[in-house]
Amino acid sequence: MILLDNVTKYYPGDKSPALNEVNLYIQPKEFVFLVGKSGAGKSTLIKMLTREERQTSGRIMVGGIDYDYLKRRHIPHLRRRLGVVFQDFKLLPNRTVYENVAFALEIVGVSNHEIRRTVPKVLELVGLADKGHKFPSELSGGQRQRISIARAILKDAPILVLDEATSALDPEMVGEVLDVMKSLAQKGMTMVVVTHEMGFAREVGNRVLFMDEGKILEEGTPEEIFSNPKHHRLQDFLKKVL
Ligand code: ADP
């Protein structure tokens, strides 16, 4: 569960807020897309969830954790609940795909037995079952990002967040990564994705949020947002991107 209650964010020195009294409730297992033009506040909203930035006011709860009461010692717990797919894959170039994923488990003290059991399953989930023996340099950007997703799932995180804008992927790779996320969504993960691929939001999202000037200006099913947009700003936005 993700809850934003009247969340406002001012970056230092900015006169207008990047997020302006945003209210949002995301249920478990929802697949939510954030869309809107550049500067609308999408990345800032994601950064509120990952705790990369702090809100100026309002309340944020993720997976039962109230961020206002988040102590330093709770952060590992939060990170386990939240899988963040980072742009920076941080892959070890001299280790195979299998070893890279296994390493993420080794460093948190998982037993070898458990590692041998888990890694193949996770590689299967992200469609890299036959790439375990390859080195990162032998993979495409999309495949490398899927390792990043594999690591996020490894933690059994029930919530996955991805900001496509910061993930430096080519459009065709975005499709590849979103395909993996689609299959994860079908397995019941909660996902929040910032995307510029309207086709995807339309095809696989449960819910689409249109952001504009720090507000969620309109939200609805893909059908409502893309086929029956109400706000003129959403209509203008769609004219440009569709
Ligand atoms: P989007 O992801 O929709 O493109 P952002 O959340 O990145 O939008 O940006 C929202 C607003 O906040 C913009 O006006 C942007 O200039 C501002 N902003 C974003 N990050 C920072 C930052 N680190 N410092 C100051 N202003 C920022």
**19: CA distance to ligand 1 center in Å?**
9
Which tokens belong to 41?
A: 């506040």
CA distance 84 to 220: 24
Average pLDDT across the chain, whole number: 88
Tell me which residue of 180, 182, 184, 189 sits closest to 222, measured CA to CA. 182
Residue 231 Cα to chain centre, angstroms: 26
pLDDT confidence of residue 15: 96
**150: CA distance to ligand 1 center in Å?**
28
**9: CA distance to ligand 1 center in Å?**
10
pLDDT confidence of residue 192: 92
Pocket probe mutation, ligand 1, options 8, 43, 45, 195, max atoms within 8 Å of Cβ = 43
Q: Tell whether ligand 1 has an atom less than 6 A from the beta carbon of residue 198.
A: no
Q: What digits encode the pLDDT tens for the residues 168-209?
A: 666 666 777 778 878 878 878 889 999 888 988 998 889 999
pLDDT confidence of residue 166: 63
Q: Is 109 helix (H, G, I), strand (E, B) or coil?
A: coil
- Amino acid identity, residue 240? K
Confidence band of 89 (pLDDT split at 50, 70, 90): low
**12: CA distance to ligand 1 center in Å?**
11
Q: If you average pLDDT over residues 102-115, what whole number do you get? A: 83
CA distance 125 to 122: 5
Judged against a pLDDT cut of 70, whether residue 88 lies above it is answered with no
CA distance 144 to 64: 31
Q: If you average pLDDT over residues 69-91, what whole number do you get? A: 73
Judged against a pLDDT cut of 80, whether residue 153 lies above it is answered with no
Q: Tell whether ligand 1 has an atom less than 6 A from the beta carbon of residue 229.
A: no
CA distance 231 to 217: 8
Pocket probe mutation, ligand 1, options 38, 44, 216, max atoms within 8 Å of Cβ = 44
Contact assessment for residue 170 and residue 10, using Cβ atoms and an 8 Å cutoff? no
Q: What digits encode the pLDDT tens for the residues 20-78?
A: 999 999 999 899 999 999 999 999 999 999 888 999 999 999 988 899 988 888 777 77
Stretch among 29-43, 94-108, 207-221 having the lowest mean pLDDT: 94-108
CA distance 30 to 27: 6
Q: If you average pLDDT over residues 110-133, what whole number do you get? A: 90
Task: Report the length, in residues, of the chain.
Answer: 242
Give the whole-number percent of the chain exceeding pLDDT 90. 49
**94: CA distance to ligand 1 center in Å?**
36
Q: If you average pLDDT over residues 118-125, what whole number do you get? A: 89
CA distance 106 to 87: 22
CA distance 48 to 78: 13
Judged against a pLDDT cut of 70, whether residue 234 lies above it is answered with yes
Taking the CA atoms of the chain, what radius of gyration do you get in angstroms? 18
